[in-house]
Amino acid sequence: MKLTIFSTKAYERDQLNKYNQTHGHDLNFVEARLTPATATLARDTPAVSIFANDDGGAEALEALHAVGVRLIALRSAGFNHVDIETAEQLGMTLLRVPAYSPHAIAEHTVGLMLALNRKYHRAYNRIREQNFELDGLLGFDMNGKTVGVIGTGEIGAVVCKILTGFGCRVQAFDVKENPACREIGVDYVDLNALYESSDIITLHCPLTPKTYHLLNADALAKMKPGAMLINTSRGGVIDARAAIDVLKSGHLGSLGIDVYEEEADLFFKNLSGTIIQDDVFARLLTFPNVLITAHQAFFTEEALAGIYGTTLQNVTDFENDAIDDKKRVTSALVA
């Protein structure tokens, strides 16, 4: 089947070609992000593949539909960037990669915690300047600390397991409890209790209307003074302006993010030498206790193999009218 792949990066072409050997799809690589204006690049291709920062809004979907696209294969687990209702109204099929390597994201999450706690980002720069002082680098033992995990699905469950190994007391909130987490000693608590008693909070829920700005000014104010907040889920789960306020006041001890609400104009691009127009993001960059990675938590060899293998399999399944329902994105997922 002819498949237009939007937002293709150089590292993806070889991998996609490799995994495509068993599928034999006709791949049309496009570097541009999907937007209403670039949708016409998929002319005459019944299927497209998009990534986390492509615009899957109503206008873009209508433009894709107008040029004959019927399948959208997401190269991601998250689907907050796609207007599911519009896709359903247009009769377009949406398929995703529900789980590729939860370890990739979970390990990066814990990496952010350790780096912020022990200030590796600052130590690295200091040592390069031959400054071997320890002032300002004081951290704390992870052992014995209370970590609050919001969302204990595939990724959150692995985070719980790793942190249990560190000797942390892990507590969680989810709309649906995960028995595997209970088995390893995770306590489920309500959100307020989690905010008030966690030394570190880490976010692993999807971005939905219910989780949009879940960490707003109210929630941030309930957090323990000096606590750490980590977000590797989706940027919109945190109100970044409210986070800046509590960083400025000193109430929030540190912030580690791999995702940012307005990341589509920034991440996955080399913007060295340009002036960043996003003042909220520019302010976040100024804090010594904020560590930002540019949506790289998924970026391991194992995760890429899972993403490309499943994406191409999804296209084959669509072609053969043999779709695996677990891969479908429908409005029932956000109900």
Residues recognised as catalytic: 234, 263, 295
Question: What is the closest distance, in whole angstroms, from the C-beta atom of residue 158 to ligand NAD in the complex?
Answer: 8
DSSP sequence for 3-68: EEETT--HHHHHHHHHHHTTT--EEEE--SPP-TTTGGGGTT-SEEEE-TTS-BSHHHHHHHHHTT
Q: How far apart are CA 27 and CA 47, in angstroms?
A: 10
- Helix locations, the chain, DSSP H: 10-20, 58-66, 84-90, 102-118, 120-128, 154-165, 179-183, 191-197, 217-222, 240-249, 279-284, 301-319
Residue closer to ligand NAD, measured from CB, 45 or 80: 80
The three-state secondary structure class of 136 is: coil
Nearer to ligand NAD, 253 or 256 (CB): 256
Terminal Cα-to-Cα distance of the chain (whole angstroms): 32
Residues that bind ligand NAD (CB under 6 A): 77-78, 99, 102, 105, 150-156, 173-176, 204-208, 210-211, 232-234, 258-259, 295, 297-298
Which residue type, as a one-letter code, is found at position 77?
Answer: A
State the minimum distance, in angstroms, from the CB of residue 295 to ligand NAD: 5
CB 140 → ligand NAD: shortest distance, Å? Answer: 25
Find the shortest distance in angstroms from Cβ 113 to ligand NAD: 14
Q: Which is nearer to ligand NAD, 93 or 211 (CB)?
A: 211
Cα-based distances in Å from 168 to 99, 162, 171, 185, 200: 26, 9, 9, 10, 10
Question: Which residue of this chain has its Cβ atom nearest to ligand NAD in the complex?
Answer: 153
CB of 207 to ligand NAD, least distance (A): 6
Tell the residue number behind the tokens 């539909």, with chain if given.
65
| Non-local CB neighbours of 238 within 8 Å, separated by 6+ positions | 203, 213, 214, 215, 229, 231, 257, 261
d(CA 263, CA 51): 13
Q: Specify the residue, 25 or 33, whose C-beta has the smaller distance to ligand NAD.
A: 33
How far apart are CB 235 and ligand NAD at their closest, in Å?
9
Taking the least distance from each CB to ligand NAD, the nearer of 5 and 237 is 237
* Cβ distance to ligand NAD smaller for residue 160 or 168: 160
- Provide the CA 128 distance to its chain's centre, in angstroms: 31
Tokens of 229: 């907040």
Kindly write down the DSSP assignment for every residue of 298-318, as one continuous string: T-SHHHHHHHHHHHHHHHHHH
